[in-house]
Chain A
Amino acid sequence: MNGLDTPSSLRTRHLRIGWWALFVFALLGVSLEALHGFKVAAYLDASNEPRRLLWRLAHAHGIGLSLVHIAFAFTAGAMPSPPRWASPCLTGALLAMPAGFFLGGLLPVGGDPGAGIVLVPLGALLLLVAIGATARGLR
């Protein structure tokens, strides 16, 4: 987040974030499989279809963004001047997008996600900024 980040420190930070996040979201995936295994109605009933969809999205985005963090660690390590905004935005996206999907699925309203879903576009915006900044930094 500060301008003093070195490629090495960024690499270490994002590897750590990426692997721990991978662990957390893999755990979420196992939990979702367990909900399937035990046929939990709150997850599987047709009326809970939005929840099932949103939690799967939380899992998928969490895993995907974890991998992006790991990829970013190697990218940043190879860059002479790592982009200033990429790291905090990527971290924000990792928090906001899966959390938005998860909270949206926790208490859906009617056929729509709950209010937590507002975190998703925020996270998406942060992700776009991070990707753009990284791409720009590769010039």
Chain B
Amino acid sequence: MTPVLTAAIAAACVLPLSLRLLAARRVVLANVLWLTVAIVIGIAARTVTPDVPLEPTSRPVERLGDGYVGSGTCTKCHPGEHASWQQSFHRTMTQSVSRPALRAIFDDLQLDYFGAPVSLHWRGSELFVRLSPDARGRRNERKVVQLTGSHHAQVLWYETGNQRELGIVPMVYRIAEQRWLPFPAVFLIPPQLREPPLPGTWNGNCNGCHTTHSMPRLDTDRVDTMAAEFGIACEACHGPGERHTTANANPLRRYGLHYGGKSSDDTVAQPTRMSSARSNEVCGQCHSVSIVKQQHFDTWRDHGSPFRPGEELAQSQLVVSPQDRSAPELHRKLEQDPQFFAHTFWNDGLPRVTGRELHGIRASPCYVGGEGERSLSCTSCHRMHREQDDAREPSAWASSQLGQGMDGNAACTQCHPKFEDATALQAHTHHAPRSAGSSCYDCHMPHTSYGLMKAMRSHSIESPSVARELQTGRPNACNLCHLDRTLQWTQNRLQEWYGTEPSPLDEDQRSVAAGPRWLLQGDAGIRALAAWSSGYEPARAASGHDWLQPYLAQLLSDPYYAVRFVARRSLMTLPSAPSLAGYDELAETGRCQETTARLQLEFAATSTRSARTEILLDEGGMQWDTFRRILARRDDRPVFLAE
């Protein structure tokens, strides 16, 4: 109706001017008349209900309410914050399907899900998936309506036809590789698990953290899932905005806040101004392994999580800890997955999977021992809004959402300024000041979490420890770079430099380098971490690369697809760049073993690496007997790293 209003106002101004014959008084009267008409039309335009498209009934929808007003409201007063959020991957966690939203470009695509055909095709602006024919041989075509993710991978969801229930398209698009992969290959799960998640998984599970204020509304006969907003929007972290917007519609209040000396507005949650504990829980509502408390389950199901930023998370969610397995909320979880704890945590309670950083932060001495502003919080290093003077490309910020300089030692010297001095740093690390060995992150936050087909940093700030590795199985920071050194070597250094008490080691731990042991006999999660570290530049610098080929080649035929992918990626970055022609990670293990054997033979024939028994190389070449002996001890317990 805006054009009508504009036209009316224009007419009110122009028409009387053209009526030259009118006397001056009539001009005034005419102006008043026309302005009155314009005002009436304007008021009418505001009261006429616009045409609202019918809300779809076969997919989850966005619906504001419960005090949530949506990011569109926030942008009116906070355009800068809104713009930086727009550039973040939080915004695009859940999107309706459209060509711009989907990173893969195609019109018609034929894919293969372990032998079963899956095809995707656009029809105008609508995307459809054709799955295997059903039991009666009927064509099984569904409309794809939603997608999850936009940074590393995109998962597509189709309408099942059962109310708002969604089913997963079993092929996942990996953005970096520009490749469609079967769902079980993208996640580190036992290879025999080839069934994609059941329909309704998004409604009952994923939407909790991939939308803002999700409301599952899921019963035996009801699938009515909705959310205040798709993606992680303003109100996920700042709380429902209705009170804030209503209060601040009053300009006197706003200017009172601007010039009145008050540091914050109590009508909205502001994580950067909360205590570390509360602030971390704002992120931790999703970045933790947590379950809605039993007494809030019905509320959660119908009206979404009762947690509001600024409140204590424990009031509404149980943050799971392996140290306390008695909570009633865990019973159902453990019935579904008796190995839940083993699949999710190292046995000291730190998560094995990425995206669960709250546990690590809470375990960190920087959080436990810090006070006030010096207590570690997510916002100590991360910035949810790109800073105005940030010279980096928005994509560089969005990748990690770290503040400027927070990707280096400056993150830690905020509270430990003495290590800004190169001499003090070197005295502490026993490594050259500018080397990776003097990187706070690499020693105190090593890559010991797995997710998104790569290793991620632990968010527990801890010192390297051989004893801890022996206790938990979690690789120690030293050997994640010094892959070619033994645990004994590491223990000796830690004892010499820091006076660490030594732990008893077995023969292999004393004589075989940590890298080969992890790569050959670790469980699937550890193999994936070690394979990733084998391609990590600081690890290459510390331990060389000319011995890795036979180990990474071995992982090309690993039982776990995800391990194969990670190993292949590291293998491809070796300077020798071995040929992987004909190799397919998704092929049967027997076929993959052919590539493994070929690359190992090539290495044996061409390697000029000098002998080093820790990495199983002697004067005569590889110590294949020892190699096979260690490989035979591979930890084949099922690993299910549920990201």
Contacts and interface: CB of A to CB of B under 8 A. Distances in A.
A135 B30 CA distance: 13
Contacts of A30: none
A111 B24 contact: no
A112 B80 contact: no
A93 B546 CA distance: 79
Interface residues of A, number: 15
Given A111-B77, A139-B25, A47 B83 contact: yes
Contacts of A46: 79-80, 82-84
A68 interface: no
B320 to A, nearest CB: 39
A112 B388 contact: no
A48 B254 contact: no
A1 interface: no
B259 A47 contact: no
Contact of A47 (B28, B258, B388): B388
B77 A112 contact: yes
Nearest to B257: A110
Interface in A118-139: 135, 138-139
A45 interface: yes
Interface in B1-53: 24-25, 27-28
Contacts of B80: 45-49
Given A109-B259, A115-B259, A135-B28, A47 B251 contact: no
B462 interface: no
A79 to B, nearest CB: 10
Given A45-B388, A47-B388, A110 B77 contact: yes
B81 interface: yes
Contacts of B84: 46-47
A57 to B, nearest CB: 16
Interface in B223-261: 251, 254-255, 257-259
Contacts of A135: 24, 28
24 contacts: A41-B388, A45-B80, A45-B83, A46-B79, A46-B80, A46-B84, A47-B79, A47-B81, A47-B83, A47-B84, A50-B79, A109-B258, A109-B259, A110-B77, A110-B78, A110-B254, A110-B258, A111-B78, A112-B254, A112-B258, A115-B255, A135-B24, A135-B28, A139-B25
Given A41-B388, A46-B82, 8 more contacts: A45-B80, A49-B79, A109-B255, A110-B78, A112-B77, A135-B24, A135-B28, A139-B24
Interface of B: 24-25, 27-28, 76-84, 251, 254-255, 257-259, 388
Interface of A: 41, 45-50, 109-112, 115, 135, 138-139
